[in-house]
Amino acid sequence: MPLVDHNAVHWGALARAALGLALCPLLFGVINRVKAKFAGRTGQPLLQTYFDLARLLKKGAVYSRTTTWLFPMGPLLGLACALAALCLAPLGGMPGLLSFEGDLFLFAGLLSLGRFATAAAALDTGSSFEGMGASREMQFAVPAELAQILGLAALAQATGSLSLSEMLARIDMVRWEAAGPVLALTGTALFLVLLAETCRIPVDDPNTHLELTMIHEVMVLDHSGPDLAFILYGQGVKMWTLCAMLAGLLAPVRSGDPLLDVSLGVAGVFALALVMGVVESSMARLRLLLVPRLLVGATALSALALILLLR
Amino acid sequence: MTLFAACLLTFLLGALASLLPRSFRAANALGSGFAALGCLLGLVPAVQALASPQDWELILYWPPPWGLGALGLDGISALFLTPALGLMGLGAVYGRGYLANMEGRKRAGPPWFFYNILAASITGVFSARDPLLLLLFWEGMALSSYFLVCMEDRDGSVRRAGRIYLVASHLGAAFLLALCLQPGASWPPAYGLAPGASVTMLPGADPAGLIFLLALVGFGSKAGLAPLGVWLPEAHPAAPSHVSAVLSGVMIKTGVYGILRVLLAYQPEPWWGWTLIAMGGGTAVLGVAGALSQAEIKRLLAWSSMENAGLMLLGLGLGTLGRAHDAPLVAALGFSAALIHMVNHGVFKSLLFFCAGSVLHGAGERRMDQLGGLLKRMPATGTAFLVASLGICGLPPLGGFASELLLGLAAMKGLLLPTSSLDIPSLAALAALILCAGIAAAVFVGAFGAVFLGEPRSQAAQNAHEAPALMRWPMIFLACLAPLMGLCAPLLLNTALGVLEPALPGAQALGAPLVTGLTTASLVFALLLALFGGLFLLRRTLLRGRDVRTGPTWDCGYIAPTARIQYTYSSFAQPLSEMFRSLTGSTGSATRPWRLFPVRVGYFAETQDRVLTAFLAAFNFMDARLEALHRLQQGQVHVYVLYIAATLVALLAWGLW
Amino acid sequence: MLSLVEFILVGLVLTNLVLLGTSRIGLCIRMVAFQGVGLAFLPLLGHGDLTWSSLAISAATALLKGWAFPTLLFRSLESAHVRAEVEPYVSYSGSLLFGVAALAVSVWLGGRMPLPGPGVPQLLIPVAFFTILVGLFGIVTRRKAVSQVVAYLVLENGIFAFGAVALRKAQLLVEMGILLDVFVAVFVMGIAIFRINREFDHIDSGRLASLKE
Amino acid sequence: MLGALTILVPALAGAAAFMLREHRARRALLVGAAVAHLLLTLAAFAAPARPMFDGALLLDEPGRLFLLITSVLFLAAAFYSAGYLEREMRGSRPDMIEGRLFSNSPEARFTGCLLLFLAAMSFVCMARNLGLLWVGVEATTLASAPLIYFHRHHRSLEATWKYLLLCSVGIALALFGTYMLALAGGGEISLNLNALMAAGPTLDPVLLKAAFVFLLVGYGTKMGLAPMHTWLPDVYSESPSVMALMSTCLLNVSFLAILRVRQVLAAAGQAQFGNDLLVFLGLTSMAWAAVFLLRQTDYKRLLAYSSVEHMGILAFGAGIGGAGMHGSLMHVLAHGAAKGAMFLLAGNVLAAYMTKNVSEVRGAVRALPFSGPLWVAGVLALTGMPPFGLFVSELAILRAALAGDRPFLAVIFLVLLAMAFIGITTAALRMAQGENTIPARPEPMSATWPPLALLLAALLLGLYQPAPLAAVLAASARLTGGF
């Protein structure tokens, strides 16, 4: 029996989406704060990202002479994709705004559309660094996407459903007891994907200052003003969405009460942010050549999970 | 029916008419006009047949030696025929503009003669109701396309491509001969034929399996399946662009069509599905990996055609497995996914080839690493190429996504089946699909970036100009069609299921929830577009009245940037193509920095298809061995008499004992 | 009567052996002429009654094989000023050995054939076979164009001898046509030899091997 | 009596051609005789078959079929050679390969022999008596020998010699076979086809088989079945293209001779044996030809080997029997037309490029505005591409083979066809394409119309057969042991 009826718009999810929109910049703050604590600094205020966004939105913009109309479309499309993805993602077992059988492909598709847009915009500047960044981004995306889909396929196999909301709604203690190791494997894989998609250490270092080593940052070098704000915010939304899903998988506490569940979900999201912060401050970024191996490893994990379920 | 006959007739008339006039312009106009007209005429009955099943059959009362044959349109034919005719018509319009700049260098008659023949043959292949007719049209298609490929025959590489193509298609046709001439053969094979009911080809062998193999090799070689379709990346780029569009966008589908017919006719065995999925997956990955390391844009497109043919075959394979293990949902999903992908790929790949053609026309340069910055110079072409790339990568909200979604769903459903019979193939299909999607995105963002974005890398690109209207409008039309096809995906799926209904009873009912699902997806597409529009307006309002300056690209303080420091396509794709080097055997040549002040540093990659080289090597080897036999004819009349005497004795020995 | 036929046949065998063994082309030509004259009697002796047609045939045969061909061949031999040697690929002794083997084979083959009716000597079919084989052998192993023609004539004689048995009731039209053809054939060959000699200053057909793959 | 006229007219014309001094008149005579012959043939089509010379000559359906293709090809040859002889240089000129001086043999001899050749072939077409059949076939050999030696240089002389010797040997064997056939009848019956077929069952089987083997090898030598075909490439490459064209008819009539003999075999209930032999020799020829077609460097030899291949196809179809017989008879017509056109076109290419080497001919399509495209079309026709007639006939043969009890034969057939296709197209299309090595040049009418007409005929055969032709095809297929 389906817990979520597809092909229906879940209005309650609007509120959840709004929550995500409001809270996602906070995630950066949390991560930075954790890193600062580890480094023994006081660090930026938690709401720094909000300030940055506000400032950027107030600014004008500078565009390269090389660029075309395509250039400013990149951030817009990226943000739009992130938002659309947010509409699909459930939070704390509660369904997303829209859901249908197979929306996990749409989810992945939206993410990769955003990536496509960013990369195209980067190439539009004709800068060698941004081309380099785009090349790396697209390269890493291949195994990351594979790991993500296979991981979700494993979840689908475990829960017997093909829509994100449904499958995450079905994950609870019982399933964990039933298929604990598999879900753990999947969770790990999806966590690695999360790191890759949100460009965190060990895949990418968001606040490096050497273009040669950047991946995502270098692609947005030429964006400024509102465009940059859109990019920054898009990152936030993307991170929120992925964290929400992963939290839904890892924190499978489902009380019947929606409010409780949602708050649990939000707690899970921030817990994940903490973990990311810990990871960032406890290890260095990998050599670029090693990153694909890491992601292929993630793919292997989710494939292993899937095969364990199939046998 | 009369319209359909008129369509075929128009093609034939056009073929002859284009040869008559001596003036270039007249021939150009006549040929393209007739082709376009024929396509329009044909579209009407095709769409009718798509909407409601037609019962007419166009019987050709043909005098001996052929006897009579019949043409007809059922749903499947119509579903293949509709995009085919549309694309060929657009190709005709585009081709008129494309050929116009060859005035004085070539005659316009022959190309249009063969184009019309090609159009007629393809229409015939999709609508033939008789094996002999199928053969006739098939050969006509192969020949006319060969001559179109060889249009620029002054170029040695084109001749080589043509030769390879001719031999390959003839070898493929040999299998079709065997398929269509076996006693009691019928085309299209009737549904639900018991295996071997009609076949007595090889006593002992499993007849249905034999037919399947014959069809797979015969049709598959036209569909460009590895390792049979190795000619494809050679032949398609060699043709003039509007022809490449038809070859890649339409002719490949004739192969898929043939295989689909055979699959639907017989009760398949599981190993059929395994074979199809293995071949399809292999082709898809090989194709997209080959596209990674191409230097010329049209070759890149051809390789990606190979990939998409592979994806269609994956769909067919899943559908076949579904039928073999009676999982009707998987069957319906797989087949319809293949059909829808067929339509989408047709549209997008033709559009891409049109764009490549207008780049060739505008910049006169086909090497991507020599192009760049064309979006400013040819905005329409660039935009169209962007849209088509999004579509071909299967990204939302365009049509390509729908077909890849269905394919993925079919694989997932296969995984979720209670029986474990479909697990491994479905997993393989899923993995191949996602892998290809990822790499395709990299390929096309790289190609688009290298060709249209950044600064021009050569004088040719510097002086590029937009294509003439005749070439521009078909591109614009298709580019506008692309998002529509994304939003209308549910409709398309419904049509495909309806078309499959006669072969797979109950397909439509099973597919209903998926249709609603796709509708939700279209809702998300709409949402996405709305968000995009909203953000766009937001940005407009934000930036109004603020100072928006322009400056140089951020160059990290490097004072003398040139266009040559931009990332080329080769370097863009290098990390990924390194991953797949073992598969494609791409020959990357890197000039590494050297000494304290390095002079030249560069990287260049070009795939030499391994399978093709292997084939050619094998052929040459055989040739050489056989050439040794030429000594038998050594000029001594005595020995010749000895041959006669020996034959006499041998035959006597045979006869009298 | 029959003894005469057998006598002719034995003569045929002996001449064949001589043909195999000799090195002089002139001798070969004479031997073939003898054969021709001998064969000319077969239509008369083969079966009892004398008809005009068989008379005419034997007369024509005698005239052609006994007189026309030898003169023609001698003519072309003289026109080609070359040593009148056969110059075979296979040594003379080897050729003789082949002859013996061929004789054995043809006797055996003749045994397998049904009896060609009454009034026909047993010997005839084996002899005919033998002559044919010798002819073929000659064409294969002899170098000079002339000697190849001679061998061809031998082949022809063998066949003729066989025909004399096979076609009991002679058909004038057919026989004449055949004779005429053979005559023209030899005539044309003679001309060809003459040309070859003029073009190449030799009539060694073994050296006519420029046309090949 | 119309049939007899088809022999008499060319024979007398040939005799007259030797007499005539005036070149122009002789050429007119040649064309006139050709036209007359074609008209007579068509008239004979209409008239019912009447035996002549108490049944020695009879123009039955197979005979008509072969007479028709012979006559059509000869007409084309006549038109072509009228212009060809006009263009041929007088006196001695350097040979294009060895560079030595050579001259043509007198035109009168050429024309006369051509006409006599035609007479002989018409004779073969209607000879009912196996003895006369033999006479006719031998006559064709002798009449054609001088034609080969038209260009008096070394190579053509060598070719002539080989042709004479090999064909005479083969023919001699055929004669022996004929006698054996008579002996199989106990020597009492005449060699008349009807008589032999009537006596069918009483014929001695062993002798009959042996006779068939001899006749097959003998006439097979003239038909160009491997491995007796060895004279063929030399003749085709060294003789003028008109002669090459006519020798296509030569191969056809030899095939007719074999079919006649097989009728006797069938009447005696030994058909299976004959079919096996035919299939075997057919496949052998196709294989041999395929081997020599690959990497062939001389385009006239290329055509020659393709003739060997097609003779193999004929034999194969006849051996398969049934519908295959019908296909192979149709193949006779289609191949005759296509191959004739190709020889004439090869003549044009040779005249333009002055070389027979494939690798030295480039861009024929551009250099020869008419012959180039025709050449390409001819290649397609020759390789059995639709919609040419050869496609249909090969299809019929293949179908019969697949329907038969030995489908693997069909597989071999397909493989060999593919090999031949690769060989021919690789060489011939390479000649047509590319940058032309010689400047484009106008072409004389007489050189372009005959091949065009022949190709159109081949095309027409593929698309449509007039009712009388179809009727004759069916009837002759029935007579020669098919349906």
Q: Which residues contact D470 (CB under 8 A, 6 or more apart)?
A: B64
Min CA distance, B635 vs chain C (Å)?
4
Q: With a cut of 60, say whether residue C170 has pLDDT above it.
A: no
Q: How far apart are CA D377 and CA A105, in angstroms?
A: 53
C207 or D312: which carries more pLDDT confidence?
D312
pLDDT value for B195 = 44
* Lowest-confidence segment of B652-656, C113-117, D340-344 by average pLDDT: C113-117
State pLDDT tens for residues B178-228. 888 888 788 888 765 544 444 444 445 567 888 899 999 999 999 988 888
pLDDT value for C123 = 85
Q: With a cut of 60, say whether residue B468 has pLDDT above it.
A: yes
Query: In which residue are the tokens 């981004």 written?
Result: A137
* Lowest-confidence segment of B421-425, B480-484, C198-202, D353-357 by average pLDDT: C198-202
The DSSP bridge partners found for residue A94 are: A91
Query: In which residue are the tokens 């229906």 written?
Result: A8
D297 Ramachandran zone, left/alpha/beta (phi>0; psi -120 to 50)? alpha
- The closest of C86, C206, C195, C81 to C146, measured between CA atoms, is C86
Count of pairs with CB atoms under 8 A, one residue in B, one in D = 136
Q: Which H/E stretch holds residue B248?
A: none
Q: Angle B353-B87-B523 (CA atoms, 0-180°, nearest 5)?
A: 90
- Dihedral sign, CA of D372, D374, D380, D385? positive
pTM higher than the cut 0.90? yes
- The closest of D350, D418, D344 to D374, measured between CA atoms, is D344
Q: How far apart are CA B564 and CA B370, in angstroms?
A: 9
Confidence of residue B342 (pLDDT cuts 50, 70, 90): very high
Q: Check B656 against C112: CB less than 8 A apart.
A: yes
Map residue C2 onto helix, strand or coil: helix
State pLDDT tens for residues C123-155. 888 899 899 999 999 999 988 888 899 999 999
Q: Check D172 against C116: CB less than 8 A apart.
A: no
Q: How far apart are CA B196 and CA A138, in angstroms?
A: 50
Residue C212 belongs to a domain: no
State pLDDT tens for residues A232-263. 999 999 999 999 999 989 888 877 788 888 89
Q: How far apart are CA B388 and CA B386, in angstroms?
A: 5
List the single residue in B with minimal CA-CA distance to A211. B556
Give the tokens for residue D440: 């484009």
pLDDT value for C3 = 76
State pLDDT tens for residues B511-535. 999 999 999 999 999 999 999 999 9
B159 Ramachandran zone, left/alpha/beta (phi>0; psi -120 to 50)? alpha
State pLDDT tens for residues C11-69. 999 999 999 988 888 899 999 999 999 888 887 775 666 778 888 888 888 998 889 99
List the single residue in B with minimal CA-CA distance to C113. B656
Check if the beta carbon of residue B400 is closer than 8 Å to that of residue A108: no
pLDDT value for B319 = 95
C-alpha distance from residue D378 to each of B277, D344, D381, D454 (Å): 42, 11, 5, 10
Nearest Cβ partner of A142 from B442, B524, B574?
Answer: B442
Give the tokens for residue B394: 């299967």
Beta strands in B492-574 (DSSP E): 548-551
Map residue C88 onto helix, strand or coil: strand
The percentage of chain C sitting over the pLDDT mark of 90, rounded to a whole number, equals 27
Check if the beta carbon of residue A63 is closer than 8 Å to that of residue A72: yes
Check if the beta carbon of residue D148 is closer than 8 Å to that of residue D160: yes
Break chain D into its structural domains and give their ranges.
Answer: 282-483
B399–chain A Cβ distance below 8 A for any pair:
no
Min CA distance, D405 vs chain C (Å)?
33
Q: Which domain holds residue C130?
A: 2-202
Break chain B into its structural domains and give their ranges.
Answer: 1-194+206-252, 267-482, 612-656
Within a 10 A sphere around the Cβ of B564, how many other Cβ atoms?
A: 12
List the single residue in A with minimal CA-CA distance to B457. A126
Would you give per-residue pLDDT tens digits along chain D (483 residues)?
A: 678 889 999 999 999 999 998 889 999 999 999 999 999 999 988 888 888 887 888 999 999 999 999 999 999 999 999 889 888 766 777 887 777 788 888 889 999 999 999 999 999 999 998 989 999 999 999 999 999 999 888 899 999 999 999 999 999 999 999 988 888 887 677 788 888 898 888 888 888 999 999 999 999 999 999 899 999 999 999 998 888 888 899 999 999 999 999 999 999 988 999 999 999 999 999 999 999 999 899 999 999 999 999 999 999 999 998 889 999 999 999 999 999 999 999 999 999 999 999 999 999 999 999 999 999 999 999 999 988 999 999 999 999 998 888 889 999 999 999 999 999 999 999 999 998 889 988 888 889 999 999 999 999 998 888 888 989 999 999 988 877
Nearest Cβ partner of B434 from A72, A103, A145?
Answer: A145
Within a 10 A sphere around the Cβ of B203, how many other Cβ atoms?
A: 8
Within a 10 A sphere around the Cβ of D263, how many other Cβ atoms?
A: 21
Q: Which residues contact A289 (CB under 8 A, 6 or more apart)?
A: none
Count of pairs with CB atoms under 8 A, one residue in A, one in B = 255
- Spans in chain A with pLDDT lower than 70: 1-4, 6-9
Give the tokens for residue A130: 């941004």
pLDDT value for B194 = 46
Map residue C150 onto helix, strand or coil: helix
- Mean pLDDT over B147-151 rounds to 94
Map residue B606 onto helix, strand or coil: strand
Min CA distance, A14 vs chain B (Å)?
13
Give the tokens for residue D239: 């003789």
Query: In which residue are the tokens 């023994």 written?
Result: A40
pLDDT value for C46 = 59
Q: With a cut of 50, say whether residue C206 has pLDDT above it.
A: yes
Q: Identify residues of B whose CB sits under 8 angstroms from chain C CBs.
A: 630-631, 633-638, 641-642, 645, 656
Contacts of C213 in chain B (CB under 8 A): 630-631, 633-634
Q: Which residues contact C154 (CB under 8 A, 6 or more apart)?
A: C16, C19, C32, C35, C131, C134, C135, C138
Which of C:144-163 have CB within 8 Å of B?
none
Q: What is the ipTM for the molecules in this complex?
A: 0.92
What does the DSSP assignment read for D368-432?
STTHHHHHHHHHHHHTT-TTSHHHHHHHHHHHHHHHSS-HHHHHHHHHHHHHHHHHHHHHHHHHH
Contacts of B636 in chain C (CB under 8 A): 206, 209
8-state DSSP, B249? I
pLDDT value for B196 = 43
Min CA distance, D325 vs chain C (Å)?
30
Q: Check B635 against C140: CB less than 8 A apart.
A: no
- Report strand pairing: A61-64 vs B548-551: parallel
Q: What angle do the packed helices D271-293 and B637-656 form, to 10 degrees?
A: 150
Q: Which long-range contacts (CB under 8 A, 24 or more apart) does B412-416 make?
A: B412/A102, B412/A153, B412/A156, B412/A162, B413/A162, B413/B327, B413/B329, B413/B330, B413/B333, B414/B318, B414/B321, B414/B322, B414/B327, B414/B330, B415/A153, B415/A156, B415/A157, B415/A306, B415/A310, B416/A156, B416/A157, B416/A160, B416/A162
Q: Which residues contact B501 (CB under 8 A, 6 or more apart)?
A: B75, B507, B508
pLDDT value for A6 = 67
Give the tokens for residue B180: 């269509």
The DSSP bridge partners found for residue B367 are: B296
pLDDT value for B199 = 45
- The closest of B439, B389, B440, B408 to B521, measured between CA atoms, is B408
pLDDT value for B202 = 47
The percentage of chain B sitting over the pLDDT mark of 90, rounded to a whole number, equals 66
Report, in angstroms and rounded to the nearest whole number, the Rg of chain C calculated over CA atoms.
17
* Lowest-confidence segment of B44-58, B443-457, D163-177 by average pLDDT: B44-58
Query: In which residue are the tokens 């098919």 written?
Result: D482
List the single residue in D with minimal CA-CA distance to B152. D434
Number of structural domains (chain C) is: 1
Q: How far apart are CA D41 and CA D64, in angstroms?
A: 8
Give the tokens for residue A295: 């992601």
Q: With a cut of 70, say whether residue B607 has pLDDT above it.
A: no
Contacts of B167 in chain D (CB under 8 A): 421-422, 425-426
B296 φ, ψ to 5°? -105, 140
What does the DSSP assignment read for B627-650?
HHGGGG--S-HHHHHHHHHHHHHH
The DSSP bridge partners found for residue B605 are: B588
Q: What angle do the packed helices A103-124 and B507-543 form, to 10 degrees?
A: 40
Q: Check B181 against D417: CB less than 8 A apart.
A: no
